Chains A and B, each alone.
Chain A
Amino acid sequence: MEQARKDALRELARKIRMGIIEATHAAKSGHPGGSLSITDVLTYLYFEEMNIDPAAPQMADRDRFVLSKGHCAPALYATLANRGFFPVEELTTLRKLGSRLQGHPDMTLTPGVDMSAGSLGLGISSAAGMALAAKIDGKDYRVYTAVGDGESEEGQVWEACMFAAHYKLDNFCVVIDWNGLQIDGPVAEVMNPTPHDEKLKAFGFHVISIDGHDFDQIETAFNEAKTVKGKPTAIIAKTVKGKGVSFMENKTNWHGTAPNDEQYAAAIAELKA
């Protein structure tokens, strides 16, 4: 990737991370850790990869994205806002009564949200359904979904994988956000779902493992996914929970805790630096 494009993506990701901090601080609740880990992947998808139009969020043949790890809605909202689907100022209404920005994504309220999701395991199945719909209609749009590593403990994730491989959904791309932490502790200690690569291969996926914060690797992976025929692709993105805010990085307790005023100021200062 050219340096200028990479710098632009990094700048966008920085703004999106600030939006996550602004939103969860204002809400006094929410999930910054996993939002910060998936930010670079979302930035690439919405600013480089996906065929979407903020002026026409319901465009029939658009690419689609489902945030199966729906608790990381702040990352999706901050991405959509920066992409122009709604004003960035609206991010601070997150989780408040009357807001379009629910605690978990609601497709009926928020422009650009393709599926209501967040109860873990459900979103990946709906994304697979969209990919099947594209095949039924002979359309060439692609469907992306982000699944948490902890989320992959849900049996339905594997039902969805079986389904996607069975119907040869090569327009379907799953990103596993492998940040290694879930609410009760390290994923490997709570209920180890690894090895994701071997399991996904066994389920019939083309599997690519990358550093989920490296835009070169992210781009290479999404480009490779588009060349795969006859099977879905899984991108296992090794990420850092809390990425970009040093005191949140690799800390389990930042899964579902909002920054207080002091932490907010420190996080914003670090992201502005």
Chain B
Amino acid sequence: MAEKIATREGYGNGLVELAEKYDFVVLDADLAEATKTVKFKKAYPERFFDCGIAEGNMMSVAAGIATTGKTVVASSFAMFAAGRAFEQVRNSIGYPHLNVKIGATHAGITVGEDGATHQCNEDIALMRTIPGMTIVNPSDNVEAKAALEAALTTDGPFYLRFGRAAVPVINDNADYRFELGKGVQLADGTDVTIIATGLMVSLALEARELLAAEGISARVVNIHTIKPIDRDVIAKAVADTGAIVTAEEHNVIGGLGAAVAEVVCDTAPAPVVRVGVKDTYGHSGSVPALLEEYGLTPANIAENAKKAIAMKK
């Protein structure tokens, strides 16, 4: 069993590890303990600024700081970073294309017991519609750190999506290399491709085993960069396997599944079945219970993979 660590931990540790290498400041909105920017706050107090519970102001402040040439990392929960502060992100940060890197934690339903008001299943959809916004949804602790470094070294606004719950570490191998905008083929297959993002990537690998036991060969692709999306890896999946199932901890409207479907429609039509939150709100519960309730499981991915295969001409 792989070690389990939340991606927000990778983010928080990454801020500290990269602090000497890159010049940036960190803002938070009274959630440093939860977003894990607290690690940076303790190590570099002169580079950390709490903005209090005022996320809209924080995003516009971040933009103002960035106009002076600094890179700014601004953190809150996904609900408040992408939801509450959408317009500030769009107008203050996105429109002038400033170097603000939004570290949004507690995305998706795995917020758990806090329930629907804090379970943001809409952030990817919101951020995708902002021109010039790069969106990265890392699959584990290792990728979270790598995504942060990519954001710090790439011009323009970023939305980095992290989770609260501990998830298996799947990228801790020597040849792991993060390439912004590139999908990662984790396992090959011929009958169907599972395209997953975030914590669904490790579940997709489990789904592949379930399918293998039934004689079905599934390719697994990790899409960490949701925008700009890797069109080539999707087109290749269609060409090689002829069917796709997507898996995301997000509303099936506007998220990874929608982004993949857009590429498939633009290139070579093929069945795309989307696994995700089915246009509904979250609910209080434990993480395992919620994943089961919302169908974010290896078994459900495998079921839907078979549906996609059945739809092939």
Contact = CB atoms under 8 A, between A and B. Distances in A.
Given A128-B61, A156-B57, A163-B57, A119 B87 contact: yes
Main secondary structure of the interface of A (DSSP, over half): helix
A107 interface: yes
A162 B52 contact: yes
Contacts of B65: 129-130, 132-133, 136
A122 B88 contact: yes
Main secondary structure of the interface of B (DSSP, over half): helix
List the 3 closest pairs (A to B, CB-CB), nearest first: A129-B64, A125-B60, A126-B64
A130 B69 contact: no
A157 B47 CA distance: 24
A108 B87 CA distance: 19
B96 interface: yes
A122 B91 contact: yes
B68 A160 contact: no
Contact of B63 (A129, A156, A162, A167): A129
A108 B131 CA distance: 15
Contacts of A115: 63-64, 67, 96
Interface string A91-119: 00000000000000011100000111111
A107 B68 CA distance: 12
A162 B29 CA distance: 13
Contacts, number: 98
A106 B95 CA distance: 8
A66 B92 CA distance: 12
Given A122-B91, A123-B60, A133-B64, 8 more contacts: A108-B97, A115-B67, A116-B92, A116-B95, A126-B64, A129-B60, A162-B54, A163-B61
For this complex, into which size category does the number of interface residues on chain B fall?
Answer: 20 to 34
A138 to B, nearest CB: 11
Contacts of A106: 95-96
Interface residues of A, number: 34
B25 interface: yes
B60 A126 contact: yes
B92 A122 contact: yes
Nearest to B60: A125
